[in-house]
Structure 1
Amino acid sequence: MQTLYITHPECRLHEMGEWHPESPHRLDAINDQLISSGLRGLIDEREAVPAQEADILRVHTPSLLAQLRRLSPVRGYAEIDPDTLMNSHTLAAAFAAAGAGITAIDAIMDGQASTAFCSVRPPGHHARPAQAMGFCFFNNLAVTVAYALEKYGFKRIAIIDFDVHHGNGTEEIFEEDSRILMCSFFQHPLFPNVCTENPGPNMVNVPAPAHADGAALREIVESRWMPRLEAFQPEIIFVSAGFDGHRDDMLGEFDMLESDYAWITEKLVDLADRSAQGRIVSFLEGGYDLSALGRSVAVHIKALAKL
């Protein structure tokens, strides 16, 4: 069964200035690598159906949505925080990015695919219920998980986050929800520097020091994630796929390589095959060195597609 590759033209139009690392060129780098590697013709590319307001409001407050609509500029930029800005396309891009996962899960549950990669921006895992932050406006993964819980009645959902930055928004939204098991590693100290003490019982979020390499992070997966995941037996797996832990990336200080991303993805695919009918939906989060990002996403998709 094919792997879906889901994106939307609006995701290319959101931008926060030439200086900003979270740029439209990230999607171009991924697309170029998929073409050059021959993967583009082996996956099923689809356009995301933008999320509806009701989808956003399952995990975000009406005040956040009202704030973003109020601030959305006709031209130029509106500042959410010093690193997070809106242009005239940002809100449409955020709805499209949030809808990509819904598009994916509906197709998967309809039997059209078993895995999907949502190549979207803005990213999502820092977005809190009432706050956009850290380049994120809506929590794309959380929007999809809440939709999947409501529409398909899942009882055991695994969330995996291997971004170098901690997915604080995702943790805040789902902490204490027994239907969810979230497993992550992240560099600490590093933005956002929260959610490192007294995690909820459904959180296996492991801080790691700067310059942790692939071997150290694989050990976290083997010794901390996998026992909990095996016991939990998820019915579906959602992934916040951040590639800014690559040793070439300037926004983190992990020393990961493409082979590490491939290894983690292969572990998740094996787990999904045994407990979740192969179902995995992955979302682009970080990754700012364009060459490393393109290469890393390519191996991630290759592993998802078992190619």
Structure 2
Amino acid sequence: MSTGYYTHPSFLMHEMGHFHPECPERLQAIEDHLISHGMDGLLDRREAPAATDAQIERVHRPEYVASLVAMSPATGYHPIDPDTLMNPHTLTAARHAAGAAVAATDAVIAGELENAFCCARPPGHHAEPDRAMGFCFFDNVAIAARHALTAHGLSRVAIVDFDVHHGNGTEAAFRDDPQVLMCSFFQHPFYPYSGTEHFAPNMSNIPLPAYSNGLAVREVVETIWLPRLNEFKPEMLFISAGFDAHREDDLGQMGLVEQDYAWITQQLVDVARAHAKGRIVSCLEGGYNLSALARSVFAHLKVLVET
């Protein structure tokens, strides 16, 4: 079996203004790097469908989805918050980003793919059940995880988030849900200034100070994440794959490099092999230095392809 790679033309049409860091050029940088380094031909490329309202509303409230439809502009931009804006193509892109994660889940569970990466935007892990924020509109990973539980009848899934920012939307979607284990590290104190209060037993979210490097992160993975994951025995793993903890990324102040992302990915592959028939769906979150993002995604995908 192969590694799926889900994308869609609408991802390049959503943009939030000149010089916004969450820009279409992020995906173009990834694509260029994969092609120039010979990875492109090793991936099973698939076009992402749009998620249905029913799939999205397993995580997000119907009135919130309706509000995004109402706010979608015919021209120009509609601001959600100072950093998060809609253009006329945003809602379509967000539906396809969520749909990528759902379709990847279906294909991996069906055995068509060993694992999959959703090269999608807008990202998702800050989107709460009733609020868009932090560049995010729909929580793609949360929608996929809930789909695996509801549509496919899985009993236990794990979500691992290695973005530099806490995945507040994902935590809000699954706090106290015994079917879901969430493991993450994140820079703290830092946007969205959450993840350190109201601890839930199914959350293993570890705050780290600015300038933490790969050695500190590997210690968290080895001593906290892996014991929790192996005890939980997930039937499928989902990854919120943010690469903005890279030392070259100006939107965070952590010190990871490509080899750290490859190492983390290998640990998750080993957990998936032990408990989940190798089943992994990974979704792009942050990563805003174009060169570092492209190199890090390549390192992440190289491990997934070689499983």
TM-score bracket for the superposition, by shorter chain length? over 0.9
**Aligned equivalent of 1:204:** 204
Structure 1 letter corresponding to 2:153? G
Superposed displacement of residue 148, structure 1: 1.0
Distance 2:171 2:183 in 1: 10
Q: SS state of the match for residue 184, structure 1?
A: strand
CA contact under 8 A between 2:156 and 2:235: conserved in structure 1?
yes
Runs of 4+ that moved beyond 2 A: none
Structure 2 letter corresponding to 1:10? S
Structure 2 letter corresponding to 1:167? G
**Aligned equivalent of 1:265:** 265
**Aligned equivalent of 2:180:** 180
**Aligned equivalent of 1:137:** 137
Q: Between 22-31 and 58-67, report the one with greater CA deviation.
A: 58-67
**Aligned equivalent of 2:290:** 290
Distance 1:199 1:237 in 2: 22
Superposed displacement of residue 21, structure 1: 0.1
- The percentage of aligned residue pairs carrying the same residue is 58
**Aligned equivalent of 1:221:** 221
After superposition, residues 154-173 of structure 1 pair within 5 angstroms as 154-173=154-173
**Aligned equivalent of 1:240:** 240
CA contact under 8 A between 2:195 and 2:207: conserved in structure 1?
no
Superposed displacement of residue 198, structure 1: 3.2
Q: Structure 1, residues 42-65: CA drift from partner, whole Å, max 9, x if none?
A: 010100111001111111011211
Q: Between 201-210 and 66-75, report the one with greater CA deviation.
A: 66-75
CA contact under 8 A between 2:243 and 2:286: conserved in structure 1?
yes
Q: In the alignment, does 2:63 pair up with 1:40?
A: no
Q: Between 90-99 and 57-66, report the one with greater CA deviation.
A: 57-66
Superposed displacement of residue 111, structure 1: 1.4
After superposition, residues 17-166 of structure 1 pair within 5 angstroms as 17-166=17-166
Q: SS state of the match for residue 191, structure 2?
A: coil
Distance 1:150 1:174 in 2: 14
Q: Structure 1, residues 170-210: CA drift from partner, whole Å, max 9, x if none?
A: 00110100000100000001100013123100000000000
Structure 2 letter corresponding to 1:63? E
Distance 1:275 1:302 in 2: 21
Distance 2:149 2:274 in 1: 21
Distance 1:99 1:153 in 2: 19
Q: Structure 1, residues 232-285: CA drift from partner, whole Å, max 9, x if none?
A: 111100000000000000100000000000000000001111110000000000
Q: Would you say how many aligned residue pairs link Structure 1 and Structure 2? A: 307
Distance 2:139 2:199 in 1: 19
Q: Structure 1, residues 79-113: CA drift from partner, whole Å, max 9, x if none?
A: 00000000000000000000001111111122111
**When the two structures are superposed, what TM-score results if normalisation uses the length of structure 2?**
0.99
Superposed displacement of residue 3, structure 1: 0.2
Structure 2 letter corresponding to 1:143? I
CA contact under 8 A between 2:149 and 2:156: conserved in structure 1?
no
